[in-house]
A and B are shown apart, each in its own frame.
Chain A
Amino acid sequence: MLDPIILGQIGWTSLATTSYYVLFAVAFSLVLKVNRLFNFTQAAAMSIAFYAAYATVNLAGLPLIVGLAVSLVAVLLFSWLIETYGFAILREKKASVLFIFIFTFMVSEFVAYLLMLTFGTWPNTIFKTLLWPVSLVGNVAVSHWDVPAIASAASCCLLLALFLRFTRWGQFMIAVSDNPDLAELYGIDKRRVFLLAVMIAGALCAVGMILYGSRSQVQPKTSLELMLFATVATIVGGIGNIWGAAIAAIALGFVQNASVLFIPSQLQGLLLYAFLFVAIIFFPAGLKLPERKRTFESKTRQITPAPGVATPADKPAE
């Protein structure tokens, strides 16, 4: 069983199929890091993104690029609504974490039922067929879906990394995730940052669901099941560690696929729960990689205050 072709095939297919899982895990982890909430409305955003693309591409027969645009518009609108009329109000009312957690589940169930009423429960795909052409690369089957999927997920992650590292709003997000109240003192509008995080997560979900729905069948409640993987990857990768979640998603996908070579396939479904159990009990803060040595510049790098806003350093001594 353990010949190089089989391992190569499992490795390649796992890498390709974890492309959407990486996006879901990064989206979930980003909101957890910045907004400090377990956002299970992400399942609703994922479903909305899929059905918008499905209606545009499969039902209306329009090109995928239009489907992607419609999907993004739908999911961004949903993200704006949920942040503005949901999370913002709950934060204002100082709702407990548990209450917000229940709210996110309720929204996802509600959206799933709405989609069920609108589109029915028959499993659907973005394109009419599930079959993708295949090329053999050294006896490893590479479907024509694989490379674009990996490239899309990698591009999204790269764009997010660049955004967080080099843009003003990206640095505001990091600042808010570190200490929202202190960030506010520096003139950062944390409400806009929270909104931005939810909207970026929504956009990642849209890309992820288009990848998923062009290869697998989707029902209104499928996204709730997909969230289990995103949650496990986020916890295993370390809560608040976006890239840890992405790496955990890839590793979990590979381990899950390869596991059937070593354990009875009936036990495969237990693996995710086993990882979750071990991660929560033994690594509640996630699996930490050794910290990289910081340069003097990065240590002393400061966030530029918003224009016209005084920093604590500008304040006269009392």
Chain B
Amino acid sequence: MTKLRGSSRRSLFLAATALVAGLGLGGISPAAAQDALKFGLALPLTGAQALYGQDQITAAEMAVADINKAGGVNGKKLEMIVLDTQADPQVGINAVNRLVRVEKVPVFVTGFSGVVKAVAPIANDNKVVELSVGANSPSVAQLGEYVYTTYPLADIDVTALAKYVHKDLGKKRAAILYINDETGTVAADVFRKTFTAAGGQVVAFEAYDPKATDFTGQILKVRVSNPEVVHIHGLVSDTPQVIAQMRQLGLNQTVTSYAAIYNPRLIQSLGKGAEGIIVTSLAPGPSDSPKVKDYVDRWQKEKNREPNGLPYTQYLYDAPYLIAQVFGSLVKKGTPITGESFRQEMLAIKTFDLPVTGKTEILPNHTVTKPVYLMEVKDGQWVRKAIVE
């Protein structure tokens, strides 16, 4: 099921208002509404991943509102069409088909590895640019000519983390526990290869089922292997429980994980059991950048809370700015906006200075590079431990 939300509904309302006003006053014509520069956003509004998806969409909506408030793109309005994917590949295909064939967008933003992969053939076949934001499977870089990511892939942050654990923390024996799906298997393998290549030893490599509710067997195998550090690559719904069971079964080693686990609720769920957990973040935090601080303050003011998965929302906030810059450049040159012209112009611009994630360079191999921020739980709070370039 797909549904229009947010700015699309508002756009329909605005278009209807403009039409009525135009008929009544002979002022703005319906053609003016068609001048809007459209792009698509396909993310989970419902389903198990909606807690992230909804906040990511809200972040993108904030950005579109800010861009339009500041005058739009060379005087034209930026319009975002939002469709629900439920983070489900089949639902994602339906949503993207509609964006490409009905809404005729030249570019769309999407996330979650399963969906990003499933819709890639639609982007390539129709020569429409797919911008993946948030999916971190390294295979995202090989999905075709029209698929790019603005989010660093798992081999960036997990590689940096594995090297840091070995070199800077001095850990020689690591165990890896991972969820047995696309998110876990690829990233766990990256950690294993990097840690081993750095000279460390992976003493346990255990998967758990996405539907599992008990992890005793795997944790006991890890305990027997006597690691110095345990890397967990799961989801926000299962990782706290894995860590809780680890602590209850007497494993008090350092735990590392990745950006999905970087949220305040983890500390609340685990209490003292969360102390020392190290995770990655691929965007600067409020203490690193005044713009990020303003962004987080805005969430506090408007929503009375921090966004779920802060770094992901930062990338989603920045995505419309990247698109607006490419649109602006094409409009300025008088080039018709198509998927192909968008792609060429994006690669020509290459380096973008984005509001809350900073400098972003689109690489020819369809990826980006960013510094990796390592965050640690200390005295019940997330604090920055290191930045790995």
Contact = CB atoms under 8 A, between A and B. Distances in A.
Given A217-B241, A225-B211, A266-B207, A131 B221 contact: no
B180 A6 contact: no
A141 B248 contact: yes
Contact of A123 (B211, B214, B237): B237
A14 interface: yes
Contacts of B335: none
Contact of A120 (B51, B213, B220, B237): B51
Given A1-B224, A216-B241, A260-B218, A132 B248 contact: yes
A221 B88 CA distance: 14
Most buried by A among B236, B269, B273: B269
B216 A128 contact: no
A216 B270 contact: no
Contacts, number: 110
A141 B216 CA distance: 11
Contacts of A10: 216-217, 220
Contact of B209 (A116, A128, A141, A268): A268
B29 interface: no
A125 B247 CA distance: 18
A134 interface: yes
Interface residues of A, number: 43
Contacts of A212: 213
B239 to A, nearest CB: 10
B48 A221 contact: yes
Interface in A12-30: 13-14, 17
B217 A113 contact: no
Contacts of A265: 180, 206-208, 217-218, 221
A121 B269 CA distance: 16
B249 A9 contact: yes
Nearest to A217: B237
Most buried by A among B50, B238, B248: B248
B286 interface: no
Contacts of B220: 6, 9-10
Interface string B158-197: 0000000000000000000000100000000000000000
Given A122-B308, A134-B248, A266-B180, A216 B221 contact: no
Interface of A: 1, 6, 9-10, 13-14, 17, 113, 116, 120-123, 125, 128-132, 134, 141, 143, 212, 215-217, 219, 221, 225-226, 228, 253, 256-261, 264-266, 268-269
14 contacts: A1-B221, A9-B249, A116-B46, A120-B50, A122-B308, A129-B270, A130-B240, A141-B249, A219-B48, A221-B47, A221-B48, A260-B218, A265-B206, A268-B180
